[in-house]
């Protein structure tokens, strides 16, 4: 299983090498790296704090990974999500999909990110430059993106 939740930052090149490392059956690698935005609808964001229930979150991420592996001919997948307090500009999420061919890798990476965003239980709290905090609500456009895979 290539699902991880961690507080530490990650390095895209190192994670890709660790996942693919010399495999000769991989012809396409698609990656997505998400960053903490410093602005959310005009409100300056200083930090984003992510909380989760480890067993619940990791189990759902594993289900998402399994569904992607059933839908597309993938050689390798990694879903890595950070938790804790992150600053604007920090890495927050990494998705890697590797396949023999590009189309499967592109589609799987998009699917993984859409489902990770809408199905994995993470709670996010933004803290503004003024010190005020608000919990981030689910967005309809994220649900719409995930609906295309049904």
pLDDT tens-place string over residues 114-129: 999 999 999 999 999 8
Matching CATH number, 2-136, of 3.20.20.70, 3.90.1170.40, 2.30.33.40, 3.90.1860.10: 3.90.1170.40
pLDDT of residue 29: 97
CA–CA separation, 112 and 145 (whole Å): 11
Structure tokens at 108: 């799987």
74-96 mean pLDDT: 97
Residue 4's closest CA among 107, 68, 93, 85?
Answer: 93
């Amino acid at each position: 299983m290539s699902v991880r939740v961690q507080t530490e930052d990650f390095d895209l090149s190192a994670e890709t090498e660790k996942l693919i490392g010399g495999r000769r059956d991989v012809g396409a690698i698609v990656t997505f790296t998400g960053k903490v935005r410093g602005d959310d609808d005009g409100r300056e964001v200083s930090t984003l704090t992510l909380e989760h229930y480890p067993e619940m979150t990791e189990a759902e991420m594993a289900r998402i990974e399994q569904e992607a592996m059933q839908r597309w001919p993938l050689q390798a997948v990694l879903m890595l999500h950070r938790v804790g307090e992150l600053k604007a500009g920090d890495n927050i999420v990494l998705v890697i999909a590797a396949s023999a061919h590009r189309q499967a890798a592109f589609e799987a990476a998009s699917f993984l990110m859409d489902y990770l965003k809408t199905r994995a239980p993470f709670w996010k709290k933004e803290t503004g430059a003024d010190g005020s905090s608000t919990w981030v609500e689910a967005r309809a456009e994220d649900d719409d993106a995930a609906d295309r895979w049904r």
